[in-house]
Amino acid sequence: MTGSTTPSLTLRLPTTDDESAVWELNRSCSTDTFDFLAGVGNLNADSTGYTAFLDSVRNQHEGTDLPEGWLPADFLVAEVITADGGTTLIGRTSIRYGLNEYLLNYGGHIGYAVAPDHRRRGYATEILRQSLALLAERGIDRALLVCNDDNAGSIGVIEACGGVLEDRRTDPDGVLIRRYRITL
């Protein structure tokens, strides 16, 4: 897509300086029944420290010390420049550089999220566009994207980025999902 009016958006690994912003994004997304930290294990501010979160992100990025069945992946925060010239975190992406059986059927290569108060501004489309470019850099030529069948916002984002519906199926939790393919 060309001609995007989305403010400058950067995807990057989270740092120690992002701790309060990451936990705030996790809280804001969890009120929307969405797990912002999905893809980095069972971490939350109450039971596991931020250092453990960063360790998990680093291990996935490096492909080391992964739990059985996990694949190398990147958990990247999405940062935008604010009107006053500062920056703020508005979302994230999880990019999986391979597909195991579960991801092939229900998860896909990319999972992205935008905090509720930053939605409908083109950020999700830009996050997905940049995530697809990172997949292509790793030699993946066909991406699998998955979303809930009733998630009109995500359906629109995936289709705007070239997604072609492959099928609908029910995931292990009984949720009807859509599986899309995007040629890179």
Tens digit of pLDDT for each residue in 15-47? Answer: 989 888 888 887 777 665 555 555 555 555 555
The domain containing residue 142 runs over which residues? 9-183
Neighbours of 169 (CB within 10 A): 14
> Taking phi first (over 0 means left), then psi (-120 to 50 degrees means alpha), and beta for anything else, what does residue 38 get?
beta
Give the residue from 47, 43, 45 showing the smallest Cα distance to 60.
Answer: 43
Helices (H), the chain: 19-30, 50-62, 101-102, 123-137, 152-160
> Which CATH number goes with the domain that contains 116?
3.40.630.30
In a domain, 143, yes or no: yes
The pLDDT of residue 4: 43
In a domain, 2, yes or no: no
Residue 112 CA, chain-centre distance (Å), reads 2
Low-confidence spans in the chain with pLDDT less than 50: 1-5
Q: Which residues pair with 173 in a beta bridge?
A: none
The pLDDT of residue 34: 57
On whether the pTM is more than 0.75, the answer is: yes
